Amino acid sequence: MELLMAIVIGILFMAAVYLILSRSLLKIILGTGLLSHGAHLLILTMGGLGGTSPPVLADGVTDYADPLPQALILTAIVISFGVTAFILVLAYRTYAEHKTDDMNLMRGDDEHD
Amino acid sequence: MINLLLFPIILPFFFAIVLLFFKENIRVQRSLTVIGLLAALTSSLFLISKVKADGVQAITLGSWPAPFGISMVSDMFSALLVTTTIIITLFVVVYSFSSIGKERERFFYYPAILFMITGVNGAFTTGDIFNMFVFFEVLLIASYLLIVLGGEKRQLRESIKYILVNVISSALFVITVAYLYSVIGTLNMADISVKIAEIGQPGIITVIAVLFLIVFGVKGSLFPLYFWLPGSYAAPPIPVLALFGALLTKVGVYAIIRTYTLFFVHDIGFTHELLLVLSILTIIAGCIGALAYFDLKQIIIYNIVIAIGVILFGVSQMNESGLSGAIFYLVHDMLIKGALFLLIGIIIYVTGTSNLRKMGGLMKTHAPLGWVYLIAAFGLAGIPPLSGFVGKMLIVKGAFEAGNVVGSIIILASSLVVLLSVMRIFIYAFWGKPVELPKTDRRPYRSMMIPSVVLVVLSVLYGVGTEWLIPYMSDATDVLLQPSIYIDAVLKE
């Protein structure tokens, strides 16, 4: 199971890198979304996929899933959610000001803004 | 007062929350920010004396036993950095009163600064690797707000790049923590150190060490990863630039120092050799940039890169002189970079441009500014009585002890380049034929001079009072050299 997850996460990272290297701003943001999906799945996988019950105390259950990675993922999800919301609004504002979403045209140098 | 080490984190956080309620009232914003920072400064000075008297301070939140809860640990190294952070922020805030403009002040400028300080101080104090990630995000999200606040075209363009680079490096941080957790099975930094020592750093841990170097190298602008820094830092207004230049990259440097002295100390031949090579390349890249530009901001920004290289070169020696030199130089560099950015901010305000070719003869009209700038420039280059000297001398001494003669010579040569780059600003801006200055109000100039001059005076005192500081620095070095002190303090009983 871990091997399958590793391959899937690898594909997610591959797609994320490909999208981040593209020219369109929106594709780049989609890439960061895939990147954080990959990272979160990686925490889950690296914590081990053993354990049959959810980490909720109940009578007679001894084989729990590791609760720590789930807490870490929950933290990382809300953080990346906040950052993604911010970067989307920022991209919208940048598009409104610069009239382009092509990163190659957003270069600018120090002499001319 | 077992919670003393939390006060420098909680106080700015508390005041930032209170400030959110007084968005329009600039006077309340200003006075509460200064009060909050003064309170935090007082508590951090108490913290230093407490750490000096009783050794490393550690608490575990919620009274859970050590590896299971989140530990906060304050050794002398982090206590010194926390204090320096608050001092610099205080001066930058006072400087902002007359330079940032009412519009920005009304849109959560001061709360953002205080939230950023919460993140910086938290990252300096935490004893948990995932908690460090969270504090990194706290300071990064506040810095996203600060870099884009104002919404000028250039700011929008550059902050997209800044945020993108940091999102990617944050994802990499999460990935690295996940790998470390799967190998070690714990997140507490002291416990990680113990477990790594037990298994004697196999290859996978060395891979994780290199991943950490990449993560923190992006934050701290190490050689192949510094590409985002010059463009992004030139975009925001000067007080924000001063905060970023003095604090943010240093958090990355602190994280590298902490992980490379606490975790990854069993395969120094590979990890620290890599750090050595990268730091030398960082110095060379910074030197090229510092000489290439005729833009005030860019020259000082590339000087940040050089200083990062010098500090990490000291760390990579892993002997007493090298590490204590790195600590000396780190605190010095935070103070002097803050001061220099504030000073060039005044030059830009007076001349109305940041292009060196368009200015000249300021010595006739603004002599005090010229002399203070000259002292700060000499301090940066490390002329003996001033603050940059001791740190660099110890680093070079450590390098000679470890047998890195070539590296030491590059460090010494880089000092010449640093001196040349900042003296070029002095010669172009203050000597030569006076150019016509735009009409500017004299009052903001004076009120901007006060915090800058005090900061330069502090850096001079730091250089002159080295002997008085040595006991503190040697305490900080001891903890870095002997991780057992840190581990015993956290995993007591």
* Residue B353: closest C-alpha in chain A: A111
Interface contact B187, partner A, CB < 8 A: yes
Q: List CB contacts of B429: < 8 A, sequence separation 6 or more.
A: B296, B347, B351, B356, B359, B360, B362
Probe site for chain A from B115, B132, B160, B166 (most A CB atoms < 10 A): B160
Within 8 A of A94 by CB-CB distance, chain B residues are 156-157, 160
Instruction: Give helix B320-351 / helix B249-262 axis angle, nearest 10°.
Output: 170
Asked if residue A48 belongs to a domain, the reply is yes
What is the Cα–Cα distance from B275 to B272, expressed in whole angstroms? Answer: 5
What is the Cα–Cα distance from B75 to B125, expressed in whole angstroms? Answer: 8
Interface contact B137, partner A, CB < 8 A: yes
What is the pLDDT confidence band of residue A109, given thresholds at 50, 70 and 90? low
Helix (H, G, I), strand (E, B) or coil at B325: helix
What is the Cα–Cα distance from B265 to B430, expressed in whole angstroms? Answer: 48
Element (H, E) at B58: strand B57-60
Closest to A12 (Cα-Cα) out of A26, B130, A1, A30: A30
Asked if residue A92 belongs to a domain, the reply is yes
CB B37 within 8 A of CB B24: no
* Residue A91: closest C-alpha in chain B: B160
- Domain of A45 in residue numbering reads as 2-53+63-106
pLDDT of residue A112: 45
DSSP class of residue B439?
Answer: P
Asked if residue A113 belongs to a domain, the reply is no
Compute the CA torsion angle B377, B380, B384, B390 (nearest 10 deg). 170
Residue B189 phi, psi dihedral angles, 5° rounding: -65, -40
* Residue A99: closest C-alpha in chain B: B153
Within 8 A of A28 by CB-CB distance, chain B residues are 164
Give the pair of three-digit tokens for residue A55: 């980490």
Query: How many CB atoms are located within 10 Å of the residue A64 CB?
Result: 15
Q: List CB contacts of B100: < 8 A, sequence separation 6 or more.
A: B109, B237, B239
Residue A60 has pLDDT above 90, yes or no: no
Asked if residue A76 belongs to a domain, the reply is yes
pLDDT of residue A61: 85
- Cβ-defined contact of A25 to B153 (cutoff 8 Å): no
Interface contact B17, partner A, CB < 8 A: no
- Cβ-defined contact of A90 to B160 (cutoff 8 Å): yes
* Least Cα separation, residue B175 to chain A (angstroms): 6
What is the Cα–Cα distance from B397 to B408, expressed in whole angstroms? Answer: 8
**Tokens 């750090």, residue?**
B275
Indicate the number of domains in chain A.
1
- Identify any residues that bridge with A102 across adjacent strands, giving them in sequence order: A24
**Tokens 């007591």, residue?**
B492
Give DSSP secondary structure letters for B188-218: BHHHHHHHHHHHT--HHHHHHHHHHHHHHHH
pLDDT of residue B442: 85
* R_g of chain B, CA atoms, integer Å: 21
* Residue A31: closest C-alpha in chain B: B168
Closest to B259 (Cα-Cα) out of B214, B325, B324, B200: B214
Asked if residue A82 belongs to a domain, the reply is yes
Within 8 A of A98 by CB-CB distance, chain B residues are 153, 156-157
Q: DSSP strand E in B187-340: where?
A: none
Asked if residue A58 belongs to a domain, the reply is no
pLDDT of residue B74: 94
Burial B217-233 (b: 16+ CB within 10 A, else e): bbbbbbbebbebbbbbb
Probe site for chain A from B170, B183, B302, B353 (most A CB atoms < 10 A): B170
* Cβ–Cβ pairs < 8 A, chains A and B: 97
**Chain B residues 330-359 with a CB less than 8 Å from chain A:** 355
What is the Cα–Cα distance from B190 to B72, expressed in whole angstroms? Answer: 11
CATH number of the domain bearing residue A9:
1.10.287.3510
CB B84 within 8 A of CB B76: no
What is the pLDDT confidence band of residue A113, given thresholds at 50, 70 and 90? very low
Nearest to B144 among A40, A68, A86 (CB): A86
Query: How many CB atoms are located within 10 Å of the residue B72 CB?
Result: 22
Q: List CB contacts of B35: < 8 A, sequence separation 6 or more.
A: B15
pLDDT tens for chain B, 493 residues long, are 688 999 999 999 999 999 999 988 999 999 999 999 999 999 999 999 999 999 999 999 888 888 899 999 999 999 999 999 999 999 999 999 999 888 899 999 999 999 999 999 999 999 999 999 999 999 999 999 999 999 888 899 999 999 999 999 999 999 999 999 999 999 999 999 999 999 988 999 999 999 999 999 999 999 899 999 999 999 999 999 999 999 999 999 999 999 999 999 998 899 999 999 999 999 999 999 999 999 999 999 999 999 999 999 999 999 999 999 999 999 999 999 999 999 999 999 999 888 998 888 899 889 999 999 999 999 999 998 898 899 999 999 999 999 999 999 999 999 999 999 999 999 999 998 888 888 888 888 999 999 999 999 999 999 999 899 999 999 999 999 999 999 999 988 5
Asked if residue A112 belongs to a domain, the reply is no
Residue A110 has pLDDT above 80, yes or no: no
Closest to B264 (Cα-Cα) out of B193, B185, B368: B193
Nearest to A110 among B133, B137, B298 (CB): B298
| Residues on A contacting B at a C-beta cutoff of 8 Å | 20, 25, 28, 32, 35-36, 38-40, 42-43, 45-48, 68-69, 72, 75-76, 79-80, 82-83, 86-87, 90-91, 93-94, 97-98, 106, 108, 110-111, 113
Closest to B422 (Cα-Cα) out of B369, B379, B481: B379
Q: DSSP H helical segments within chain A, as ranges?
A: 2-20, 25-46, 67-98
CB A29 within 8 A of CB A19: no
Nearest to B153 among A36, A38, A98 (CB): A98
Asked if residue A29 belongs to a domain, the reply is yes
- Identify any residues that bridge with B355 across adjacent strands, giving them in sequence order: B295
What is the Cα–Cα distance from B176 to B467, expressed in whole angstroms? Answer: 40
Within 8 A of A38 by CB-CB distance, chain B residues are 171, 175
DSSP class of residue B60?
Answer: E
Give the pair of three-digit tokens for residue B48: 């230093």
Compute the CA torsion angle B270, B274, B275, B281 (nearest 10 deg). 160
